[in-house]
């Protein structure tokens, strides 16, 4: 099934309004459907943790629309990060040390940021208009399987957010989570998920 590159402007405006007001949304990403909020908003991030019944302190993936924003949220970006994103054949999340200006629970316990540069039209445009990183945690209760499309999302998640995006709900193309690589302060590389 081919997914249209066009989305409904009213749907988009509603999602953006909810995010700007500190709410949480259920939305399609460049990988699986995600639960999202402004990654700098502690209260919204804590709502997502409660909704997912997730242990705190694990950190959450954030989406950004362009690499130029990384300097705002990270002390230093290893050149290797840009190289890895450039050669990646599928969406890639990098865990980079030295996070700043993010909600406490978005950062990992060692103060790192898990970040992915999204190229998917809806999530990319949300990031551009929000002008902040967008939390992108899988739309499941912690410990349960990650839904591969909208139809597999648990009703508790759907009812627990402030807005559910209409765009791509009918797309049943099975999606998979991103690859994850952790970068160390001394240029170590650890593959977390292929």
- Residue 159 counted as domain residue: yes
Q: What are the helix (H) ranges across the chain?
A: 9-20, 42-52, 70-73, 79-87, 121-130, 155-160
pLDDT surpassing 90 at residue 192: yes
Q: What's the pLDDT at 29? A: 94
Determine which of 55-59, 148-152, 159-163 has the lowest per-residue pLDDT on average.
Answer: 55-59
CA dist 126 and 16 (Å) reads: 6
Residue 74 CB-half CA count within 13 A: 23
Query: What is the pLDDT, as a whole number, of residue 1?
Result: 33
Q: Reduced to 3 DSSP states, what percent helix, strand and coil does the chain have, rounded to the nearest 5?
A: 30, 20, 50
Distances 51 to 75, 76, 106 between C-alpha atoms, Å: 31, 32, 15
Total domains present in the chain:
1
Look up the domain containing 100 and give its range: 9-193
pLDDT reported for residue 3? 47
Q: What are residue 115's DSSP bridge partners? A: 62, 94
Residue 103 lies in a domain: yes
Q: 2-43 pLDDT, tens per residue?
A: 445 678 999 999 999 999 999 999 999 999 999 999 999 999
Average pLDDT over residues 144-173: 95
pLDDT digits (tens, 9 = 90+) for 54-75: 998 899 999 999 999 999 999 9
Kindly tell me if the per-residue pLDDT of 187 is higher than 80: no
pTM exceeds 0.85 for this model: yes
Residue 3 lies in a domain: no
pLDDT at 2: 40
Which of the given ranges, 52-56, 159-163, 176-180, has the highest pLDDT on average? 159-163
In a domain, 147, yes or no: yes
Lowest mean pLDDT among 21-30, 82-91, 101-110, 179-188: 179-188
136 in a structural domain: yes
Evaluate whether residue 37 is within a structural domain: yes
Give domain status of residue 4, yes or no: no
Tell whether 45 is covered by a domain: yes
CATH of the domain at 70: 3.90.870.10
| pLDDT tens-digit readout, 96-141 | 999 999 999 999 999 999 999 999 999 999 999 999 999 999 999 9
């Amino acid at each position: 099934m081919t997914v249209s590159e066009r989305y409904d402007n009213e749907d988009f405006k509603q999602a953006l309004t909810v995010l700007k007001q500190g709410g949480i949304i259920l939305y399609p990403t460049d990988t699986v459907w995600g639960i999202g909020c402004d990654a700098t908003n502690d209260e919204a991030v804590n709502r997502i943790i409660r909704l997912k019944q997730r242990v705190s302190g694990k950190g959450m993936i954030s989406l950004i629309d362009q690499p130029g924003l990384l300097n705002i949220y990270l002390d230093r970006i290893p050149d290797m990060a840009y190289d890895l994103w450039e050669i990646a054949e599928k969406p890639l999340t990098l865990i980079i040390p030295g996070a700043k200006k993010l909600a406490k629970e978005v950062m990992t316990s060692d103060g790192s940021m898990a970040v992915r540069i999204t190229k998917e039209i809806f999530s990319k445009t949300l990031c551009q208009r929000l002008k902040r990183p967008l939390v992108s945690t899988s739309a499941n209760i912690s410990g349960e399987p990650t839904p591969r499309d909208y139809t597999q999302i648990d009703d508790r998640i759907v009812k627990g957010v402030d807005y559910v995006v209409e765009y791509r709900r009918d797309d049943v193309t099975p999606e998979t989570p991103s690859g994850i690589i952790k970068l160390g302060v001394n240029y170590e590389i650890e593959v977390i998920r292929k």
